[in-house]
Amino acid sequence: MQFKQVICVASAIFLSGLGTQRTYATTIANELYANIDDPPTWKSCQRIENPEKRLTCFDEWGRQQTAKVATPNNAPSTDAAMSVIPPSRETSAIAESGNCRNKQYSALSRFWELEAGTDCGTLSLRGYRPLNVSLSTTTDRPKVEDAMEGENSTYQATEARIALSLRTKLAQDLLTDNDASHQDSLWFGYSQQSTWQLFNENMSRPFRTTDHEPEIMYVYPTTYSALGNWQVRYMGVGAAHHSNGESEPLSRSWNRVYLMSGAELDDRFQINGRLWKRISEDSENDDNPDIANYIGRAEITGRWNYDVRNIFDATLRNNLRSDGRGSLRLEWFRTIGDSDSSNLRLHTQLFHGYGDTLIEYNRRRTVFSIGLSLVEF
């Protein structure tokens, strides 16, 4: 049984045995929820520093969740509905359809569907990386010889970008044997980024480059604690192909296998990391033998959920060599619309380093972009 469930069960037993305390608990709860959430959520309860008030908040939240499950058609709840029932495949399915969007579970659990209560089934489309439409400008204008030999015009520093990214779960419970609190999964994902010379009338507004990245991933849930209250939520392995679909001399492609893991602290901070190894190719067929020396061999992404509307990301890539080549990407996501239901974000990004696009993987660039992204759908 997880820590949050233990808290809910203990508080329910305590308060049910002391009937005179219920009025007191309600009074405290009303004071707490006035400045947090109405009704309370497990996120708001986590933010309470006072132990007694935090316990009361979790008790009220647990009572409400149980009432939703035990009382059909929103009928008045009874004392029997006050007992706290841990989430299971049956109760979570009744509580809310589309469980991978159920915010009583943590962000990483929802994203990778690590528990039965976050399961949205197999072979349905979900978001992976942000779907993005943006405008960008760079300090290092793309070179003509990178794209078309003999072209008299030049590429512009300002262009549009379109990023697509989807995934689907191919299978689940391969090794976890239908454990309600642990659910492994096998995923297929596809990401694509296109740069479009939208304002370049002299060159007939061409798409300058398009990068494709299909990959397959296996994710296994974990419950390790690290550095205090950090929870390591998953570990996994994957394989990816990355190419721009061009012929020589513009062809860029590579294949890699990787290990990955992710941890979170409450619902405020996340860390996700990947470490990869390039799959070697014959020297005669290798378009870019030194690509890992520039794009890198590992990356780590940190996320800060500043509040319900603002999220900040930082992604660092490094080649794990003495020259330290790689990149840094800083991002700000600002929710547009209802913060509880909208997946639309104002997306601002600053990139510096190597690997912004495959065609320019060995050139250091600084790129600023701003646009709209659709996330977590």
| pLDDT of 98 | 53
For residue 275, being part of any structural domain is answered with: yes
Helix residue ranges per DSSP H, the chain: 3-17, 21-33, 42-46, 51-70, 89-95, 107-112, 291-295
CB atoms within 10 A of CB 99: 22
**Is 93 a member of any domain?**
no
**pLDDT, averaged across the chain:** 82
Residue 80 one-letter amino acid: A
Residue 9 pLDDT? 44
Confidence band of 48 (pLDDT split at 50, 70, 90): confident
In this structure, are 235 and 310 located in the same domain? yes
Residues 185 and 311 in one domain: yes
Question: Are residue 240 and residue 334 in the same domain, yes or no?
Answer: yes
Shared domain for 263 and 338, answered yes or no, is yes
351 and 305 in a common domain: yes
Residue at 165 is within a domain: yes
User: 233 and 343: one domain?
Assistant: yes
Could you tell me if residue 94 is inside a domain? no
Task: Kindly report which listed range (76-85, 164-173, 192-201, 281-290) carries the lowest average pLDDT score.
Answer: 76-85
Let me know if residue 95 belongs to a domain.
no
- Tally the domains of the chain: 2
Q: Is 52 found in the same domain as 193?
A: no
Residue 86: strand pairing partners: none
Return the CATH number at 319: 2.40.230.10
Long-range CB contacts (within 8 A, 24+) of 332-337: 333/130, 333/373, 333/375, 334/309, 334/310, 335/308, 335/309, 335/310, 336/372
Judgement on whether residues 71 and 217 belong to the same structural domain of the protein: no
Binned at pLDDT 50, 70 and 90, residue 67 comes out as low
Question: Which among 275, 348, 274, 265 has a CA at the least distance from the CA of 304?
Answer: 265
Residues 316 and 184 in one domain: yes
Nearest to 181 by CA among 236, 231, 117: 117
CA 264 to the chain's CA centroid: 11
Cα torsion 52, 58, 63, 64 to 10°: value is: 130
Mark whether 81 and 230 lie in a shared domain: no
4-18, 29-43, 239-253: the lowest-pLDDT one: 4-18
**Where among 51, 86, 121 does a domain terminate?**
86
Q: What is the dihedral sign for C-alpha 242, 246, 248, 249?
A: negative
- The answer to whether residue 47 scores a pLDDT higher than 80 is no
Does 92 reside within a domain? no
Instruction: Flag whether 91 is in a domain.
Output: no
More confidently predicted of 367 and 77: 367
Which of 92-101, 239-248, 316-325 holds the top average pLDDT? 316-325
Which of the listed residues 86, 113, 132 is the one where a domain comes to its end?
86
Give residue-wise pLDDT tens across range 356-370.
Answer: 999 999 999 999 999
Q: What's the pLDDT band for 124 if we cut at 50, 70, 90?
A: very high
pTM of this structure? 0.73
270 close to 256: Cβ distance less than 8 angstroms: no
Residues 163 and 265 in one domain: yes
pLDDT at residue 316 tops 60: yes
Residue 233 near residue 181, CB atoms below 8 Å: no
Mean of the pLDDT values across residues 116-134?
94
Q: What is the phi/psi pair of residue 86, to 5°?
A: -60, 150
Last residue of a domain, one of 30, 55, 86: 86
Residues 327 and 203 in one domain: yes
Q: Identify whether 16 is part of a domain.
A: yes
Q: Which domain holds residue 21?
A: 3-86
